[in-house]
Amino acid sequence: MKLTKVILKEEVANLGDMGAIVNVARGYARNYLLPKNLAVEANTRNLKMLEHEKRIISDKLKKLKVSADAMAAKLSAQRLMLTAKAGEEGKLFGSITTKDISEALAAVGFDIDKKRIILDTHIKRVGEHAVKVKIHPQVFTQIIVEVTAE
């Protein structure tokens, strides 16, 4: 497998943060990272440009972290109420997934992608559940999801 060096323009899960120089498979770079404008080829011109942009990127990362901290403070105070069909002992007919939580957060004004909601397992019982949310690579918060029976 032939590798190529790229400079990441944004955070890419399981690959690296914004501004990182990483080795990836040529096909991955050519077919995914470059067309989606997530990375640029790590040639001498782009490396020189990276030095200039590192200052801009670090400022952007600081602003993103500050806004992520503010959002984490707002989210941690949030309590989600979800209803689902349940049996007599409080066991749900189905489960509450990250998609359900993401949609409930969107309904109260938070645009959180379902991939950023961390559940060990789907919620399958009525009651209060602590759910971890990744807002930023360095900022996590916890929200309370209360599931009631219909």
CATH topology assigned to domain 73-149: Ribosomal Protein L9; domain 2 (3.10.430)
Radius of gyration of the chain (CA): 20
More confident residue, 121 or 57: 121
According to the per-residue pLDDT averaged within each range, which of 20-34, 36-50, 61-75, 77-91 is highest? 20-34
Q: Is the pLDDT of residue 24 over 90?
A: yes
Domain segments of the chain: what residues?
A: 3-69, 73-149
Helix (H) or strand (E) holding 102: helix 98-107
Whether residue 135 contacts residue 75, with contact meaning beta carbons closer than 8 Å, is answered with yes
3-69 and 73-149 agree in CATH topology? no
Res. 22 pLDDT band, cuts 50 70 90 = very high
- Tell me the sheet residues that pair with 136: 139
Least confident stretch, 17-21, 93-97, 103-107, 116-120: 17-21
Helix (H) or strand (E) holding 68: helix 44-76
Whether residue 132 contacts residue 118, with contact meaning beta carbons closer than 8 Å, is answered with yes
Q: Which of 143, 115, 116 is nearest to 129 (CA)?
A: 143
pLDDT at 90: 85
pLDDT, tens only, 45-85: 888 887 887 788 788 888 988 988 888 888 888 888 988 88
Q: Is the pLDDT of residue 132 over 90?
A: yes
Report field, pTM of the whole predicted structure over 0.75: no
pLDDT at 121: 84
Please enumerate, as own/partner, the contacts of 32-38 that have beta carbons within 8 Å and a separation of 24 or more: 33/6, 33/8, 34/6, 37/9, 38/8, 38/9, 38/10, 38/12
Q: Is the pLDDT of residue 25 over 90?
A: yes
In CATH, which superfamily holds the domain spanning 3-69? Ribosomal protein L9, N-terminal domain (3.40.5.10)
Place of tokens 């957060």: 105
Whether residue 58 contacts residue 127, with contact meaning beta carbons closer than 8 Å, is answered with no
